[in-house]
Chain A
Amino acid sequence: MNLLRFLGLGGRVALSGGRGSLARVALMAAGIGLGVALLLGSLAFDHAIQAGAVREAARYPGAQLAPDEPQPMNSTLMWEWRTTFEGHDVWLIALHGRGRAPVPPGITGVPSTGQVFVSPGLATLLDSPSGSLLAPRLGGSVAGPIEPDGLVTPSEIFGYVGVRPGLKGLSLVDGQLYTGGSKQSFSMLTPGSLIVLGLAILAFLFPVALFVITATRLSTATREARLAAIRLAGATNVQVRGMIAIEAAMVAVLGAIIGCLLFLLGRTMSLKISAVAAGWFPSELWPQPVAAAAVLLIVPALVLLVALVGSRRMIVSPLGLVRRTRRRRRGAAWVCVGLAGALALGFAALGHAWVMRQRSPIPGVIIVGAGLLFLAGLVGEAGWVSWLVARVVGSRTRSVSAQLGARRMEADPGSANRVVAGIAVLVTLVGLGQAVALADARDRSGMTYVAPWVRDLPATIVIAEVFDYPVVDPASLLNLIAVPGVLSVRLTRQEPSGGVTLKPSSAIVATDGEPATLERIRNAVGWRGDAQPVSFWRSRASAGATERTVAHVAQAISLVILLVTAASLLVSTVDGMMERRRPLAVLSAIGARRSTLRRSILVQVAIPLAVALGLGASGAIFLTVTVFHVIGERGLLPLRPLAELTVAVGVVVLAVTGLAMPWAGWTRRADLLHAE
C-alpha cells in the first residue's frame, strides 16, 4: 500500500467515527495540549527564575579586605544596605572605585561620589509624593537609570550609590571587594518550597496525563467495531496497528500545536497581570529552545508509545473483538509491595536512632526507598481496592441504583482505576508535602525568634538598630531625638531578636505614630543600621505568612488536580452512558425512574473518589507519622488540608454527577430503541 494512501486511511480511522470519535480526538488533543502548555509554562518560569538569579549573583562581592589593608588599585569596594521604605524593600549598594574599577552590571561605570543610579522601580518611588522622604537615604543626585541587565526583576527597587570611604559611616573594614560577581547563583527556594514546587508540577501533569489516557479509551467498543470492519475489508493486523499509530501521531501533533498556542495565549494573558509583568522580564519568560524542543518531541513520542502499547493488547479480528470475558483484577501483589514499604518504614521508625546513626546516604536511602515502595504499592492496589469495593457493593446492595452504578464500575473499571490511583497518590503527596511545608514554616518561625519584651511595647514604638557598632557609635542613636515626630529615645543592650550586646546597639524610639516619622528615623539611622516599627517584629514572630502561602499553594494544586480528574471522570462516565445508550433506553422503557439512573451515576462517581480519598488520606497520615518519627522531628498531621480535600471531593462528586445528568436524560429518548 502506498504511504500516502495509508496515511489518509489512518486519518479517516481517526475522524470517520462521527461525533463520538471527533470528541475523542478533540479531548485527547486538548489534554495533550494542556500538558504541553503546562510544561512549556513551567520551563519558561524556570528560565526566568534562573536568569534573575544569575543577574542577582552578578552583583555579589567576591572578597574581603584584610584589616588595615588599603583599597587596592583597579578595584571596586561595595557596601550593601537593605532598608525599607513605606513597606517596600529597598536594596542599595554603595560603590567606591579606584583606577580601572570593575563595574557591576546595569551601569556603564562605577558612579563617582554623590552619583546615584536607580532602577525604574526606585525612580518611580522617588518621583512619588513621598519620594522626598526617601531621597536623603541615597545621599546624592540621580545620574541615570540602571539598565535591565542589572536588575533581578523589572520592578525591583534597587540603586547604586557612589560614595567615598568614611562617608555615612562606611569604613574600609566592612566594605567588600567587587570582583565581577559570583558565578554561582543562589536559588531563592528553600527545601520546603522546592518540595511544594516539585509536587505542584507533578500534581499538574499527573491528572493531565490521566485525562489523556481517559480520552484514548473513549468509545472503545465503537472504535473496535470500526477497526474490525477494516480488517474484514482485507487489512492485516499490522496494517490496522499502523493506522492506529498514524491516528495517534496525528493527535499528538495536533496536541503539540494546541499546546504551543495555549502557552502563547497563557503567556500573553499572564503578562497582562500586573504582578507577573512586575516580577518577570517578558523576554525571559520563554523556555530555553533545547528544553522546549525536548518537550515538543518527548510528549508526542510518549503519546505514540502509549497508543502502540495499548493496541498490542487489542486483538482486532475481522469478526469484531473477541468476546470479552471478565478478567480477574490483579492487586493482591501490590498490596504486598505496599505492605513491605509500610513495614520497612515502621521498623525504621521504631529503630530510628539506629537508622539515623548510619553514614550519610543510608538513612535517606532507607526513608526514600521505603516511601517509594509504599507509594508504588498504593498506586498498584488503589484500582484493585476500588474494584473490590464496587464488587462488594454491587453484589450486596439492596438499592437498584447502587447496584447499577457499582456493577458498571466493576465491569469496566479501567478509567475509574486510573482516577483512583492518581487521586490516592496525589492526596498522599499533597498531605505529606503540606506536613513537610508546615514543619518547615514552623522551624523557620523558630529562627525568627522575637524577644518577649518587644511584644509589650506600644504600637507607636520604633526600634532603631545599628550594626557593626565598633564602627558606628551607638550613642549617635540618641541624636534621633532631633528627628521631627520623635517623642523620646532610650538606648538598650537587648536586641529584638533576643540577644544582648556589650554596648547598647538598639534604641527604643517613641514616636507620634506618623509613617513619615518612621522614614525620617530610617534616614537618620543611615547606612549602618535600620529601624522597624514594633508591628514588623510582631508579624515576624508569628510567621503566619509562609504557612498561609504554603496552604494556598497546596489548595490551588489540590483544586486543579480535582478539576482535571473530575473532567476525566465526567468524560468517561458520559462515554460509558453513550456506549450503553440502548440498554439504558430500554431500562427507561421498562419503567426505571429518572432518579434511579441519576443515583446510579452518583454511586458510580462516588465509589472511586471515596476509595481514593480514603487510601490517600491514610497514606498521607501514615507517611507523615513514620517519616517524621524516623528523622526524629515532631511531625504535624495534615488534618486540616485532608478535611478540606474531603469537602472538595464531595463537591466534585456532586458536580460530575450533575454535569452528567443531561446525558442521562438523553438516554431516555425513545428513538434509541429503534434498531441501529
Chain B
Amino acid sequence: MSGTPTIEGAGGPLVHAEGLTKRFGATVALDGLTLGVAGGEILALLGPSGSGKSTLLLCLAGILRPDSGTVRYRGQALSDMADAVLTCLRREEFGFVFQFGQLVPDLTAVENVSLPLQLSGQKRGLAEERALALLTKLEVEDRAGKRVGEMSGGQAQRVAVARALIAEPKVIFADEPTGSLDSLNGEVVMGLLLAAARERGTTVVLVTHEPRIAAYADREVVVRDGRISQHAVVP
C-alpha cells in the first residue's frame, strides 16, 4: 500500500530510539533511554518488573508516543508520521505477539491469522489458505476452525505467533510471548517464533523475564528504571 516509508536508512540501525522519556503521572517509565536494533537482529529486553520494558516496546512500535526523544524506523522519525501512515506501517512492516488476550474471540484461528493479510487488502480465500499453511507449520492446524475459547493457552499463543508472522513483517515485537505458558510449552512456542524469524531474516524485539528464553537472542539488553543498564552479546 502507498504511504509506507521505503527509504532505507543508510547502514544505520533498523529501529533507533534516542533519549526516550515517558511519564505516567509521577511515574517515570522511560528516562532518556537510547537503543538501536539492527536489521535481522534478535534482541531480548530483560529487567525487573516495572522497569519500563513494555513501555519501551510500545514506543518502538509507534503505538505509544514518548514525551520526548525520537524513534526512527529506517531513518524516519515515527513522530513525523501521520496516524494513518503509522497504522499502515504497523500493518505491513511490524508484527506483534503479546502475553495473552490478543486473539479476537469471535473469530476462528484461521480468521485471526489471516487478519493482517486481509487488512492489507488481500483476498479472503487466499489469505486463509496462507494462514492454514502457517498454522500447519506451527502444528496447530487441527485448531484452525476453532475459537480462542476452545483452545489451550499454548495453542492460542501459537496462533498469535502465526498471526505475527503471516504478513512477513520486517520487525516482530513480542512482549513476554511465553509469559502465560509453562516452560516446556514456552520453549516450543519461542523456538517456532525464532526459527521462522531467522529463516526469513526478521528482526525481533523480545521482552522477557526468563533468562532461558533470552538465551535464544543474539543480544540481551537489561532495562532498569527506564534506562539501559548493561549490554551483553551472547556468543
Chain A residues engaging chain B, CB cutoff 8 angstroms: 323-326, 397-398, 400, 403-404, 407-408, 410-412, 580, 582-584, 586-594, 596, 670-671, 673-675
Contact = CB atoms under 8 A, between A and B. Distances in A.
A408 B105 CA distance: 8
Contacts of A591: 87-92, 94, 116, 119-120
A4 B175 CA distance: 46
Given A403-B111, A589-B63, A411 B98 contact: no
B217 to A, nearest CB: 21
Contacts of B105: 411, 580, 583
A328 to B, nearest CB: 14
A400 B107 CA distance: 11
A589 B61 contact: yes
A459 B7 CA distance: 86
Tell me if A's interface is mostly helix, strand, loop or mixed: helix
A113 B107 CA distance: 88
Contacts of A589: 61, 63, 90, 96
Contact of B118 (A326, A400, A584): A400
Contact of A410 (B106, B120, B175, B176): B106
Interface string B113-154: 001101110011000000000000000000000010110000
B87 A403 contact: no
A650 to B, nearest CB: 25
B104 A583 contact: yes
Nearest to B151: A323
B58 A323 contact: no
B185 interface: no
Contact of B106 (A408, A586, A671): A408
A403 B118 CA distance: 10
Contact of B149 (A324, A582, A590, A671): A324
A586 B176 CA distance: 15
B102 interface: yes
Contacts of A407: 104, 106-107, 111
B227 interface: no
Contacts of B149: 323-325
23 contacts: A398-B123, A403-B111, A403-B118, A403-B124, A404-B104, A404-B106, A404-B107, A407-B104, A408-B106, A410-B106, A582-B101, A583-B101, A583-B102, A583-B103, A583-B104, A586-B102, A591-B88, A591-B120, A594-B87, A670-B64, A671-B64, A673-B58, A674-B54
B186 interface: no
A312 B96 CA distance: 40
Given A323-B150, A593-B87, A398 B124 contact: yes
Interface residues of B, number: 41
A192 to B, nearest CB: 46
A596 B150 contact: no
Nearest to A674: B54
B76 interface: no
A670 B60 CA distance: 13
A673 B98 contact: yes
Chain A CB count within 10 A is highest, among B91, B105, B163, B176, for B105
A615 B228 CA distance: 63
Chain B CB count within 10 A is highest, among A403, A408, A587, A591, for A591
Interface in B37-77: 54, 58, 61, 63-64
Nearest to A405: B106
Nearest to A408: B106
Contact of B90 (A408, A590, A596): A590
A397 B163 CA distance: 20
Contacts of B63: 589, 670, 673
A325 to B, nearest CB: 6
Given A411-B105, A673-B58, A590 B95 contact: yes
Contacts of B92: 591
B99 A675 contact: yes
A326 B150 contact: yes
B147 A411 contact: yes
Nearest to B55: A674
A325 B150 CA distance: 6
Chain A CB count within 10 A is highest, among B63, B90, B111, for B63
Nearest to B102: A586
Nearest to A580: B105
**Closest 8 pairs between A and B when the two form their complex, measured CB to CB:** A591-B91, A411-B106, A586-B102, A591-B90, A407-B106, A582-B101, A408-B106, A670-B64
A580 B91 contact: no
A580 B112 CA distance: 14
Interface in B160-180: 163-164, 175-176, 179
Contacts of A323: 149-150
A500 to B, nearest CB: 75
Chain B CB count within 10 A is highest, among A403, A407, A590, A674, for A590
Contacts of B119: 400, 590-593, 596
A407 B118 CA distance: 15
Nearest to B104: A583
A219 to B, nearest CB: 15
Interface string B219-233: 000000000000000
Contacts of B163: 590
B104 A580 contact: yes
A670 B54 CA distance: 11
B115 A400 contact: yes
B147 A586 contact: no
B147 A326 contact: yes
Contacts of A584: 104
A587 to B, nearest CB: 7
A560 to B, nearest CB: 31
B106 A587 contact: no
Nearest to A396: B124
B221 to A, nearest CB: 20
A590 B91 contact: yes
Nearest to A321: B149
Nearest to A325: B150
B134 to A, nearest CB: 15
B56 to A, nearest CB: 12
Contacts of A593: 84, 87, 119
A91 B111 CA distance: 75
Contacts of B89: 591
Contacts of B176: 675
Given A583-B103, A590-B94, A590-B95, 20 more contacts: A400-B119, A404-B104, A580-B105, A583-B101, A583-B102, A583-B104, A586-B98, A586-B102, A589-B90, A590-B90, A590-B96, A590-B115, A591-B92, A592-B87, A594-B87, A596-B119, A670-B58, A670-B64, A673-B54, A675-B100
